[in-house]
């Protein structure tokens, strides 16, 4: 009797394991964002967490390295790449040149890139920007308000905002922003947005 019961349980366990292994992944991995299936795939390939577009729009004014105040709302109508970082974070330093490469390819499209330095001295940030030759806009979150607003707990953290200023994706940790997958993702978001607003 016991041998028969154990055999039955083994068969059931094997069947469950086969079902789980062969079950298609895509339905469970697609975020409840309402975005297209192509967007879902690009986000998944880049390891970016989708966020329902209802999150936002967010707006805050931060100083750039020239002392001018820059508002996130000023980038409405563009896909916004918003990165939080520090000069003492090695992973942040490593991905900055990759971000620059992505920006150089997309800067003439409906795309903007902002890097927000968290509670650091302006002189240190300026030196790093000059050394690495960054051409995108770098902002200073001197009092940590932006960090709190976006709930940043780990650096680097990158948010992707749609043309309305709403967060649609987030990436905790560095990514290969200069990769073909990354370029394809942002090209898709830019083109998709252009189609929907035309």
Q: Name the percent of the chain lying above pLDDT 90.
A: 71
How many Cβ atoms are within 10 Å of 183's Cβ, its own excluded? 15
Give the pLDDT score at 48. 93
pLDDT-derived band at 28 (thresholds 50, 70, 90) equals very low
pLDDT-derived band at 58 (thresholds 50, 70, 90) equals confident
pLDDT exceeds 60 at position 151: yes
pLDDT exceeds 70 at position 184: yes
Instruction: For residue 78, give the nearest of 196, 177, 194, 182 by alpha carbon.
Output: 194
User: Side by side, which strands form the sheet with 61-64?
Assistant: 49-50, 167-172, 157-161, 79-85, 111-118, 137-141, 61-64, 69-71
pLDDT exceeds 50 at position 26: no
* pTM of structure: 0.79
């Amino acid at each position: 009797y016991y041998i028969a019961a154990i055999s039955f349980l083994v068969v059931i366990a094997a069947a469950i394991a086969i079902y789980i292994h062969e079950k298609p992944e895509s339905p469970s991995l697609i975020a409840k964002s309402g975005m297209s299936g192509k967007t879902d795939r690009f986000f998944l390939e880049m390891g970016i967490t989708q966020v329902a577009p209802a999150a936002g729009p967010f707006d805050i004014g931060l100083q750039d390295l020239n002392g001018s105040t820059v508002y996130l709302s000023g980038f409405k109508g563009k896909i916004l790449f918003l990165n939080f970082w520090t000069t003492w974070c090695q992973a942040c330093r490593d991905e900055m040149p990759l971000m620059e490469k992505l920006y150089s390819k997309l800067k003439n499209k409906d795309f903007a890139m902002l890097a927000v330095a968290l509670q650091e001295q302006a002189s240190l940030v300026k030196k790093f920007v000059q050394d690495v030759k960054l051409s995108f806009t770098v902002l200073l979150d001197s009092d940590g308000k932006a960090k709190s607003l976006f709930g940043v707990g780990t650096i680097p953290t990158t948010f992707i905002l749609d043309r309305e200023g709403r967060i649609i994706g987030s990436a905790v940790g560095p990514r290969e922003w200069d990769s073909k997958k990354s370029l394809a993702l942002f090209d898709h978001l830019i083109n998709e947005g252009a189609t929907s607003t035309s």
